[in-house]
């Protein structure tokens, strides 16, 4: 038993999952007041109302997914690339290649100077100063 339906779940999908879990354990749900007071999963009409809510939640989830995919495709068609901007620039890669080739280079100091992490540095440039595939992508794309 729950006082109001909005007290049980964060959103409709969460609510559907909670009621599904309760039903599997043999527990019915009854809403006492507010919107959704007609829901009583121990009765046939309550199950019907809740089934309609579940179908609407699934429909809404699918619409959001389709819109997101369409929006990303539209952005790509306009030449926009999503995601976080690259930390490494062609100038930073050239500096890292020159520095990593020298034995006196301290990797931690180089990373601080470039404003990157060790992982980012080694993903783009090897410890001997050779260009790695991620570094090649940046040098060829700009």
Instruction: Dump pLDDT digits (tens) for 16-67.
Output: 788 888 888 988 887 776 665 667 788 888 788 777 877 877 788 889 999 9
Select from 77, 105, 133 the last residue of a domain.
77
**Does residue 85 lie in a domain region?**
no
73/111 same-domain check: no
- Work out how many domains the chain is built from and give that number: 2
Taking phi over 0 as left and psi of -120 to 50 as alpha, with beta for the rest, 107 belongs to alpha
Backbone angles phi, psi at 99, to 5 degrees: -75, -40
69/94 same-domain check: no
71/36 same-domain check: yes
pLDDT score at 121: 95
Q: Indicate if the pLDDT at residue 11 is higher than 90.
A: no
**Does residue 19 lie in a domain region?**
yes
Domain of 121 in residue numbering reads as 90-141
Burial class (CB in 10 A: 0-12, 13-18, 19+), 50: buried
Q: Indicate if the pLDDT at residue 110 is higher than 90.
A: yes
37 DSSP 8-state letter: T
pLDDT score at 77: 93
**Does residue 57 lie in a domain region?**
yes
**Does residue 82 lie in a domain region?**
no
Contact 56, 78 (CB under 8 A): no
> Could you report the per-residue pLDDT of 121-132, keeping only the tens digit for each?
999 999 999 999
Taking the C-alpha atoms of residue 102 and residue 119, their distance in angstroms, rounded to an integer, is 19
Query: Averaged over 87-99, what is the pLDDT?
Result: 93
Taking the C-alpha atoms of residue 101 and residue 25, their distance in angstroms, rounded to an integer, is 64
56/117 same-domain check: no
End-to-end Cα distance, the chain: 61
């Amino acid at each position: 038993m729950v006082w109001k339906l909005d007290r049980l779940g964060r959103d409709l999908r969460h609510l559907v999952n909670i009621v599904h879990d309760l039903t599997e354990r043999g527990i019915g749900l009854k809403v006492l007041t507010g919107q959704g007071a007609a829901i009583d999963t121990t009765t046939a009409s309550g199950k019907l109302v809740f089934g309609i809510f579940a179908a609407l939640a699934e429909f809404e989830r699918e619409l959001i997914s389709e819109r997101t995919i369409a929006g990303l495709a539209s952005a790509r068609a306009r030449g926009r690339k999503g995601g976080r901007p690259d930390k490494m620039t062609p100038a930073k890669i050239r500096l890292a290649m020159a520095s990593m080739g020298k034995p006196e280079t301290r990797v931690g100091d180089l990373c601080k100077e470039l404003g990157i992490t060790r992982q980012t540095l080694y993903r783009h440039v090897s410890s001997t100063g050779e260009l790695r595939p991620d570094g090649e992508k940046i040098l060829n794309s700009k």
